[in-house]
């Protein structure tokens, strides 16, 4: 592989002097903080939030590092993994010059972030059976392709991609390969986090929004070698993860078994829902899932979607997405929610 990180980073990012926050310049024990223009009186409405949060999310990184057996300097903590996606564009892609590669159907934010950053998207569609098309990927790459997004398990198809094929792409691509593992905890496959020091161009994304059940906090992770993470830290807003979010994430990390229990329950519900859906006459196919949702090919997606809405149940209509004609994406709910869904669909 011909990969040189310094060659693919945007010049303005290389030359950037990052914002130096008051809280970052000071370390040690002080009692009176008059350095950050905070309000020392605080607010009686939400106590203990008058101070800026830790800009480096030190405690979270220590815990995540232990969890993955990596170093804190190999972790970026973002305002959702959506923030990490946006920062990747800002670090590596020159607007109107560079491009990125996605493998549709896939997570929609890669394309939205590209559009916001005025960066072109190349598309190497998955095969009919939602496999990775290595030839299409190779032929879509040019010298300005900076990022290659691989979502595994993939949203909305729910499958994981072949590990060897992914590794071949990481090995051969001269830009950054992003493996988005938002749904990895529901998967039978092994994470790629253990590979971050084997590949200088690998970024793994994970999130607290799915398996950890904390989407409302907006916290996601980018895991990569220290050189890449330093770039993330250089461009991120100084206080990008709120105090409430940091405290709640720490509590979650200290109670890992809680998340593990929920994951097991969701997987059990997923298998039950799949079996029940397969019996319905309006269902043509339920695709295998490594995630907390299932993609279901139906006889009449629009009609079923609207019927469910009238029953006050919202699923995701993917009928107009490439390779997903007739498909609805259904998130695995609680047992009761899934029963209500099944009961509603069986009325059709």
Ligand X SMILES: Cc1ncc(COP(=O)(O)O)c(C=O)c1O
Judged by the rule CB under 6 A, the positions of this chain that interact with ligand X are: 80-82, 107, 151, 155, 180, 182, 207, 209, 215, 220
CB 27, min distance to ligand X, A: 29
Instruction: Closer to ligand X by CB, 16 or 109: give it.
Output: 109
Pick between residue 81 and residue 117 the one whose CB is nearest to ligand X: 81
Shortest Cβ 63–ligand X spacing (Å): 17
Cα(274)–Cα(332) distance, integer angstroms: 10
- CA distance linking residue 232 with residue 210, whole number of Å: 23
Beta bridge partners, 317, equal 328
Q: Which single residue brings its beta carbon nearest to ligand X?
A: 80
CB 236, min distance to ligand X, A: 14
C-beta of 9 vs 81, nearer to ligand X: 81
Return the number of the residue (74 or 180) whose C-beta is nearest ligand X: 180
Backbone angles phi, psi at 92, to 5 degrees: -110, -25
The Cα–Cα gap between 92 and 341 comes to: 43
From the CB of 187, what's the least distance to ligand X, in Å? Answer: 12
**What residue ranges in the chain does DSSP mark as E strands?**
75-78, 99-102, 120-123, 145-151, 176-180, 202-207, 220-223, 283-286, 293-298, 316-317, 327-331
- Min. distance of Cβ 219 from ligand X in angstroms? 7
| Residue 247: CB minimum distance to ligand X, A | 18
Residue 209 CA to residue 227 CA, distance in Å, equals 26
When the beta carbons of 217 and 345 are compared against ligand X, the nearer one is 217
Smallest distance, ligand X to C-beta of residue 240, A: 12
Output 106 or 298, the one with its CB closest to ligand X. Answer: 106
Non-local CB neighbours of 230 within 8 Å, separated by 6+ positions: 73
Q: How many whole angstroms separate alpha carbon 240 and alpha carbon 78?
A: 7
Residue 270 CB, nearest distance to ligand X (Å)? 16
Whether omega before 153 lies within 30 degrees of 0, making that bond cis, reads yes
Q: Which is nearer to ligand X, 107 or 232 (CB)?
A: 107
Tell the smallest beta-carbon distance from residue 82 to ligand X (Å).
4
Q: Distance from CA of residue 93 to its chain's centroid?
A: 19
Q: How far apart are the first and last CA of the chain?
A: 54
The residues near 331 (Cβ < 8 Å, ≥ 6 apart) are 292, 293, 315, 316
> Which residue carries 């059940």 as its tokens?
213
Neighbours of 203 (CB within 10 A): 25
CA separation for the pair 239, 167 (Å, rounded): 34
Interacting residues of 202 by C-beta distance below 8 A, sequence separation 6+: 170, 176, 177, 179, 192, 195, 196, 224, 225
The smaller minimum CB distance to ligand X, of residues 229 and 345, is found at 229
Closer to ligand X by CB, 179 or 267: give it. Answer: 179
């Amino acid at each position: 592989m011909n990969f040189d990180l310094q060659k693919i980073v945007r010049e303005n990012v290389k030359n950037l002097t990052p914002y130096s926050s008051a809280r970052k310049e000071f370390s040690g024990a002080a009692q009176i903080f008059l350095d950050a223009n905070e309000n020392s009186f605080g607010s009686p409405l939400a106590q203990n939030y008058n101070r800026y949060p830790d800009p480096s999310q030190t405690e979270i990184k220590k815990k995540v590092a232990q969890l993955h057996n990596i170093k804190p300097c190999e972790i970026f903590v973002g305002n959702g993994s959506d923030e990490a996606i946006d920062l990747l564009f800002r670090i590596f892609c020159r607007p109107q010059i560079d491009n990125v590669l996605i493998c549709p159907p896939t997570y929609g934010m890669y394309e939205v972030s590209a559009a916001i950053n005025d960066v072109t998207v190349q598309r190497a569609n998955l095969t009919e059976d939602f496999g990775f098309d290595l030839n299409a990927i190779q032929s879509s790459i040019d010298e300005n392709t900076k990022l290659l997004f691989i979502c595994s398990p993939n949203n909305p198809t729910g499958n994981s991609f072949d590990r060897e094929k992914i590794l071949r792409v990481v090995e051969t691509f001269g830009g950054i390969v992003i493996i988005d593992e938002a749904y990895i905890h529901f998967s039978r496959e092994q994470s790629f986090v253990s590979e971050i020091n084997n590949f200088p161009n690998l970024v793994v994304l994970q999130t607290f929004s799915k398996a950890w059940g904390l989407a409302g906090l907006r916290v996601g992770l980018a895991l990569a070698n220290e050189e890449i993470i330093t770039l993330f830290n250089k461009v991120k807003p100084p206080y990008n993860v709120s105090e409430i979010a940091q405290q709640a994430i720490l509590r979650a990390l200290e109670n890992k078994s809680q998340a593990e229990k929920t994951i097991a329950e969701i997987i059990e519900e997923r298998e039950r829902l799949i079996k029940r859906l397969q019996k319905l006459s309006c269902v043509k196919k339920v695709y295998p899932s490594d995630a907390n949702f299932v993609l279901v090919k139906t006889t009449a997606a629009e009609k079923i979607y609207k019927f469910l809405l009238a029953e006050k149940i919202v699923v995701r209509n993917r009928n107009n997405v490439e390779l997903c004609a007739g498909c609805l994406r259904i998130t695995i709910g609680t047992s009761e929610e899934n029963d209500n869904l099944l009961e509603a669909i069986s009325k059709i």
